[in-house]
A and B are shown apart, each in its own frame.
Chain A
Amino acid sequence: MSAPQTSPPAAPGSPNGAGHPSGDERFALLDKTIRRARFAQDQLIELLHTAQDIFGHLSDDVLIYLARQLRLPPSRVYGVATFYQLFTFEARGSHSCTVCTGTACFVKGADDIVRTVSDTYAVPPGQTTDDGLLTLATARCVGSCGLAPVVVVDGVVHSHQSSESTLEAVRAVAEQAQAVEAEG
């Protein structure tokens, strides 16, 4: 981990202290939710969700900020944030392919799909390609077992998938992006 600990934001004079010294407007947005949660420490997980929605991922700066606002030890905030799978600490790729690996999808060959996408794009599951184009993820169960195997590409659910059809769907969004880039 890089050491971005430029000295953490000075403790706000009151818990209602306004914003972040950087002047980043997004902290004001986060503050609003923190106030609505009445600075309750037990709202940490909800606030981590909110922060991730706002910032895209949870940077050290954001975690420190939450720790200060909720008056929690930073190690505790870090421990909680890293415990839960849905929190992410690095920026995601511009496109995503999430393969459901629930039991129904497993029985119908989801592992082949993961392997194919992983091999084709040279990206291990759970990571983003070096060029930041694609994040390959697996999900425990998206709850559409009747449609197994299920793959979610850029938020769109594709049912009854095979390795080929998944690659096609990924290629469609990825190439579209490259085409746009080439034009621009």
Chain B
Amino acid sequence: MANRRARPNGLNVTIDGVEMSAVEGESVLDVARRAGAAIPTLCYLDGLSVHGGCRVCLVEVDGEHAPRLACSTPVTDEMEVRTATEAITEHRRIVVELLFAEGNHICAVCVSNGSCELQDLASEVGMDHVRFPYQYPDRAADASHPKYVFDPQRCILCTRCVRACAEIEGAHVWDVAARGADSYLVTELNLPWGEAPSCTWCGKCVTVCPTGALAFKGRAIGEMEHDTDLVGFLARARTEGEWEGRS
């Protein structure tokens, strides 16, 4: 009768020393956020499938020899998680440095300057400079769409746009082409975006972009703000039938 645990099938999870109750099926990220732990994320976005590519949400789990992804690791009973050890912090910093070095991220002239998740993350992980040589990839921007601009120099290949378009809008205009360091985003068969017949002009890809890679046309430096909550809201509305009315 006197169940020690908070809920039936409840799990006890410790995040950075804070004891939390959790439910089976929750991810480490879910519970950590409730615990107030600031685990950074880039590719993860509420409402989209889990991608697991950016690696910045890695945390240490007791008994595991390598870090685990907070976004995709389900919590288990008596799990002990540390979200910001020295090793984790250094890994995150290196990952962010790698992102800055592989693209052409010039905050000073970016539409998203001031509201960019990558820019914020750099500050958060203490990246005061990039130790690796910049790669300066030659990537041309696509301004063929009447409403939006795609600048692949700022793209971190998080695939939020790909997933938002395929999973929420159902159009699958975007995908990733080539592989490795040569990977890039394409619309349809590598068409100029403005000529892609499957694009519905819904703009979800633009709203979910964490950087200035996707923006509304005509925005100047620092004028682009994203609405990353939108797809989570839409996904919930759809799965929980929020517009159907509930008794």
Q: Do chains A and B touch in the complex (CB under 8 A)?
A: yes
| Docked-complex contact B189 and A5, CB < 8 angstroms | yes
Least distance between B48 CB and chain A CB atoms (Å):
17
Least distance between B19 CB and chain A CB atoms (Å):
44
Q: Is B30 an interface residue, CB under 8 A from the partner? A: no
- Closest A residue to B177 by beta carbon equals A82
| Docked-complex contact B179 and A75, CB < 8 angstroms | no
A1 to B192, CA, bound (A): 10
Chain A residues with Cβ below 8 Å from B172 are 73, 75-76
Contacts A76-B172, A78-B186: A5 and B177 contacting too (C-beta < 8 A)? no
Q: Is B200 an interface residue, CB under 8 A from the partner? A: no
| Docked-complex contact A73 and B198, CB < 8 angstroms | yes
Q: Is B178 an interface residue, CB under 8 A from the partner? A: yes
Contacts A75-B186, A78-B186: A5 and B191 contacting too (C-beta < 8 A)? yes
Least distance between B219 CB and chain A CB atoms (Å):
25
A83 to B227, CA, bound (A): 31
Over the window 64-77 of chain A, the binary record of Cβ atoms lying under 8 Å from chain B Cβ atoms (1 yes, 0 no) is 10010000011111
Over the window 1-33 of chain A, the binary record of Cβ atoms lying under 8 Å from chain B Cβ atoms (1 yes, 0 no) is 101010000000000000000000000000000
| Docked-complex contact B192 and A75, CB < 8 angstroms | no
A75 to B187, CA, bound (A): 6
Chain B residues with Cβ below 8 Å from A63 are 189
- Closest A residue to B189 by beta carbon equals A74
| Docked-complex contact A64 and B189, CB < 8 angstroms | yes
A73 to B188, CA, bound (A): 7
| Docked-complex contact B195 and A5, CB < 8 angstroms | yes
A82 to B198, CA, bound (A): 20
| Docked-complex contact B175 and A73, CB < 8 angstroms | yes
Q: Is A60 an interface residue, CB under 8 A from the partner? A: yes
* Other-chain contact of A79, B171, B186, B195 (Cβ < 8 Å): B186
Looking at chain A's contact residues, is the secondary structure mostly helix, strand, loop, or mixed?
Answer: helix
A1 to B178, CA, bound (A): 14
Over the window 150-183 of chain B, the binary record of Cβ atoms lying under 8 Å from chain A Cβ atoms (1 yes, 0 no) is 0000000000000000100001111111110000
- Closest A residue to B185 by beta carbon equals A75
Contacts A73-B172, A75-B173: A3 and B178 contacting too (C-beta < 8 A)? no
| Docked-complex contact B177 and A74, CB < 8 angstroms | no
| Docked-complex contact A78 and B195, CB < 8 angstroms | no
A74 to B193, CA, bound (A): 13
Least distance between A173 CB and chain B CB atoms (Å):
31
* Other-chain contact of A78, B166, B188, B192 (Cβ < 8 Å): B188
| Docked-complex contact B178 and A75, CB < 8 angstroms | no
| Docked-complex contact B198 and A78, CB < 8 angstroms | no
| Docked-complex contact A78 and B189, CB < 8 angstroms | yes
Residue of A1, A76, A79 most packed against chain B (CB within 10 A): A79
Chain A residues with Cβ below 8 Å from B171 are 73
* Other-chain contact of B190, A1, A67, A73, A76 (Cβ < 8 Å): A1
Chain A residues with Cβ below 8 Å from B173 are 73, 75
Chain B residues with Cβ below 8 Å from A3 are 191-192, 195
A162 to B198, CA, bound (A): 53
* Other-chain contact of B176, A5, A67, A74, A79 (Cβ < 8 Å): A79
Chain A residues with Cβ below 8 Å from B189 are 5, 60, 63-64, 67, 74-75, 77-78
Other 9 A-B pairs with CB < 8 A, given A60-B190, A78-B177, A78-B189 = A1-B190, A3-B195, A5-B195, A67-B189, A73-B166, A73-B171, A73-B198, A74-B189, A82-B178
B interface residues (Cβ-Cβ under 8 A, vs A): 166, 171-179, 186-192, 195, 198
The 9 A-B residue pairs whose C-beta atoms are closest, nearest first, are A75-B175, A73-B172, A79-B175, A74-B188, A82-B177, A74-B189, A82-B178, A78-B189, A79-B177
17 cross-chain CB contacts under 8 A:
A1-B190, A5-B195, A60-B189, A67-B189, A73-B188, A73-B198, A75-B174, A75-B175, A75-B177, A75-B187, A76-B172, A76-B175, A78-B190, A79-B176, A82-B177, A82-B179, A83-B177
